């Protein structure tokens, strides 16, 4: 398929199949492969001019300005971005990030009082602030003006503030709708630099935008996609000494840094600081102009990241033991509590348990005074925010979004909370074939994988939230060699035509495959080994090869599906057979039974299982 401008010419049919399954029309391909420039932000953010005018005054008057960020990578990169830009424009900015351990999330009244007593008259929040009503009211009382930039839910009653930059205040179709905190900081900084005719002030802003946006898993659409396409290629030659030092310690200094490298190598090192130590360390790392100091700070980040990994592994082992101690039957909602678990990492471990069990998970750690604080993660389809809202009478505090959340609960309410959350999870699980669902998007035979295919795949980058790396599958793959690596990773060497290709299943929790021929669901990546790039499959799921038939269970009924050339046969439990001649990637059969949505869905699943869908 080629759209009017021809930009999609040359995309392999497997990639076109992925895009079609995702609902990408021909008219959308040009914007996906070459995102348009960002429109003037002032037309999309009603309060932008108010914020720019006030900050312009601060820059011209060399005012002190406090930047209140969050302690995650989005908040820390947002803080560093505004600190650098405001300093180059003449203001005297200073960071003000709360402690995760002692103060919790976001702007609070105590911070406002301390800043006001120190002579601060202007405060800018990044990645927080919209829900800090008490703090904002206190700022108003003390005469401190506040500009809020935030992307979290706006409360029904807007708190007092000077100006608000928020994606929800842009038009419905705005390309700015998906911005994270660092994206809003970038919009504000760019508008201010343009207003003061000093574009050089933005020289490192795009680098920080890329790190924070990917770390926060913001949707890679609209201006996010455009700015990432511009910024990622320059990350490995950033003018920020701190980023260069962090990349060097992560082993990224000699190769391009893509979204995967940011998400799995750079962002975790920054997040480890906010989880375990003072986030000011990371802010200084991202703002210092001294290479020697940058390396010192990067080494501290590296040490904290190793500590974070050790904590996560230890808590995960304890959590697994608690689950298995209850026997083979799993409750529909896993709720596990230990007083000594570290608040800063239980969210990471909860996400790992979701991957393993396919169930919603809450891990609780002691907070003192009979209270526990929890992090919640869940598979697609289970709404964490709605589940917690339904239990609000048992909780002291809670918040989140569909995939993740957190709460504080008194110890005496934990049993009742678990019972209620389990009821909700049980209702969600009803009618599902499995809680663990792996849904490949296209068949990709291993012999089709080469450097040229990888280059075509890279045309669809960057991958991330709302635009994931394609999940392919290959059938009847010959295993030449396999072994378990330290850390519990499964490594396979597979035949790909006359060549071989390696495949790895990170943190493999199942038994080692016993079959010499496998069906695989995987993502195609470029791995770097001893400085040399190589193709690698990252396995999401595997099974013994089914060959020409597959069994599909739907609503406790088993359907036998077979392939005979280009013919798809589906036999139901009563012995009735549907025969479909497959052509052009879809079944062409006038049988009226296919008009039923359940049957049509069964046909699509059978076609995918047997390799009809390219």
Instruction: Indicate the angle between helix axes 205-215 and 181-195, nearest 10 degrees.
Output: 160
pLDDT at site 614: 45
Residues 561 and 461 in one domain: no
Last residue in a domain, options 372, 399, 429? 429
**Does pLDDT of 435 surpass 70?**
no
Last residue in a domain, options 497, 521, 544? 544
Q: Model-level pTM?
A: 0.84
pLDDT at site 233: 94
Residue 400 lies inside a defined structural domain of this protein: yes
What CA dihedral angle connects 330, 334, 340 and 342, to 10 degrees?
130
d(CA 152, CA 289): 32
DSSP 451-492: HHHHHHHHTTPPPBTTBPPP-EEEEEEEEEEEEEETTTEEEE
Q: Which of 103-107, 187-191, 405-409, 431-435 has the highest mean pLDDT?
A: 187-191
Residues 376 and 493 in one domain: no
Residues 371 and 497 in one domain: no
Last residue in a domain, options 544, 569, 601? 544
Residues 333 and 396 in one domain: yes
pLDDT at site 533: 78
End-to-end CA distance of the chain: 14
pLDDT at site 560: 86
What is the span of the domain harbouring residue 405?
A: 326-429
Residues 503 and 525 in one domain: yes
Give the full edge-to-edge strand order of the sheet including 586-587: 549-554, 557-564, 567-571, 577-583, 586-587
Strand partners, 366: 372
Residue 88 belongs to domain with CATH number: 3.90.1640.30
Residue 28 lies inside a defined structural domain of this protein: no
Residue 161 lies inside a defined structural domain of this protein: yes
Q: How confident is the model at residue 322 (pLDDT cuts 50, 70, 90)?
A: very high
Q: How confident is the model at residue 583 (pLDDT cuts 50, 70, 90)?
A: low
Q: How confident is the model at residue 1 (pLDDT cuts 50, 70, 90)?
A: very low
Residue 496 lies inside a defined structural domain of this protein: yes
Residues 554 and 536 in one domain: no
Residues 480 and 353 in one domain: no
**Does pLDDT of 548 surpass 80?**
no
pLDDT in tens, 30-40: 889 999 999 99
Residue 20 lies inside a defined structural domain of this protein: no
Nearest Cα residue to 319 out of 297, 289, 352, 271: 352
Residues 416 and 446 in one domain: no
Residue 78 lies inside a defined structural domain of this protein: yes
Ramachandran category for residue 327: left, alpha or beta (phi over 0 → left; psi -120 to 50 → alpha) = left
Residues 262 and 186 in one domain: yes
Helix (H, G, I), strand (E, B) or coil at 316: helix
Residues 404 and 483 in one domain: no
* Residue 596 CB-density burial (10 A; 0-12 exposed, 13-18 middle, 19+ buried): exposed
Residue 377 belongs to domain with CATH number: 3.10.310.30
pLDDT at site 530: 63
**Does pLDDT of 609 surpass 80?**
no
Q: Do residues 273 and 303 make contact, with C-beta atoms less than 8 angstroms apart?
A: no
Residue 2 lies inside a defined structural domain of this protein: no
pLDDT at site 593: 56
Residues 255 and 195 in one domain: yes
Residue 100 lies inside a defined structural domain of this protein: yes
Report the domain count for the chain. 4
Higher pLDDT residue, 466 or 118?
118
pLDDT at site 153: 82
**Does pLDDT of 586 surpass 70?**
no
Least confident window among 279-288, 456-465, 538-547? 538-547
Higher pLDDT residue, 431 or 562?
562
**Does pLDDT of 549 surpass 60?**
yes
Residues 537 and 553 in one domain: no
């Amino acid at each position: 398929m080629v759209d009017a401008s021809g930009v999609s010419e040359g995309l392999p049919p497997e990639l076109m199949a992925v895009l079609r399954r995702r609902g990408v029309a021909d008219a959308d391909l040009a914007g996906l492969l070459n995102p348009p420039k960002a429109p003037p932000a002032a037309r999309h953010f009603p309060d932008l001019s108010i914020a720019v005018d006030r900050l312009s005054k601060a820059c011209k008057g060399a005012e002190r300005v406090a930047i209140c960020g969050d302690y995650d990578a989005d908040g820390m990169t947002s803080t560093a971005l505004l600190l650098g830009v405001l300093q180059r424009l003449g203001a005297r900015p200073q960071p003000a990030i709360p402690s995760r351990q002692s103060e919790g999330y976001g702007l609070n009244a105590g911070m406002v009082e301390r800043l006001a007593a120190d002579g601060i008259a202007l405060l800018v929040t990044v990645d927080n602030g919209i829900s800090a009503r008490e703090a904002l009211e206190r700022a108003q009382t003390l005469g401190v003006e506040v500009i809020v930039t935030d992307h979290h839910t706006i409360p029904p009653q807007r708190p007092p503030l000077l100006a608000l930059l928020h994606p929800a205040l842009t038009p419905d179709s705005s390309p700015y709708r998906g911005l994270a905190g660092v994206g809003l900081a970038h919009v504000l900084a760019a508008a201010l630099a343009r207003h003061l005719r000093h574009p050089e002030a933005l020289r490192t802003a795009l680098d920080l935008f890329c790190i924070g946006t990917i770390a926060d898993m913001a949707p890679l659409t609209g201006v996010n996609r455009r700015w990432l396409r511009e910024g990622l290629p320059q990350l490995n030659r950033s003018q920020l000494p701190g980023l260069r030092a962090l990349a060097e310690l992560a082993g990224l200094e000699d190769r391009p840094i893509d979204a995967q490298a940011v998400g799995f190598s750079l962002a975790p090192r920054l997040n480890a600081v906010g989880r375990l130590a003072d986030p000011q360390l990371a802010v200084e790392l991202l703002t210092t102009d001294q290479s020697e100091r940058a390396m010192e700070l990067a080494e501290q980040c590296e040490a904290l990241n190793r500590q974070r990994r050790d904590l996560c592994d230890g808590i995960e082992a304890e959590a697994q033991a608690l689950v298995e101690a209850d026997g083979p039957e799993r409750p529909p909602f896993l709720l596990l509590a230990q007083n000594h678990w570290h608040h800063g990492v239980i969210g990471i471990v909860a996400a790992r348990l979701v991957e393993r069990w396919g169930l919603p998970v809450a891990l609780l750690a002691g907070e003192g005074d009979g209270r526990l604080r929890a992090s919640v993660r869940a598979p697609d389809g289970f709404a964490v925010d709605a589940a917690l809202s339904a239990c609000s009478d048992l909780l002291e505090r809670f918040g989140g979004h569909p995939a993740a959340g957190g709460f504080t609960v008194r110890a005496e309410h934990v049993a009742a909370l678990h019972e209620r959350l389990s009821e909700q999870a049980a209702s969600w699980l009803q009618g599902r074939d499995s809680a663990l669902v792996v849904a490949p998007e296209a068949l990709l035979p291993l012999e089709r994988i080469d450097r040229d295919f990888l280059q075509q795949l890279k045309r669809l980058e960057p991958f991330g939230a709302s635009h994931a790396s394609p999940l392919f599958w290959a059938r009847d793959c010959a295993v030449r060699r396999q072994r378990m690596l330290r850390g519990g990773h499964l490594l396979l060497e597979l035949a790909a035509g006359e060549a071989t290709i390696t495949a790895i299943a990170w943190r493999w929790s199942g038994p080692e495959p016993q079959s010499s021929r496998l069906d695989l669901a995987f993502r195609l990546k470029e791995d770097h080994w001893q400085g040399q790039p190589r193709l690698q499959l990252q396995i999401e799921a595997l099974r013994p090869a089914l060959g020409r038939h597959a069994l599909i269970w739907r609503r406790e009924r088993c359907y036998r599906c077979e392939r005979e050339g280009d013919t798809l046969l589906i036999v139901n439990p009563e012995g009735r057979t549907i025969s479909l001649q497959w052509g052009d990637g879809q079944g062409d059969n006038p049988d009226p039974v296919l008009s039923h949505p359940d049957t049509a869905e069964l046909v699509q699943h059978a076609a995918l299982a047997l390799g009809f869908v390219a």
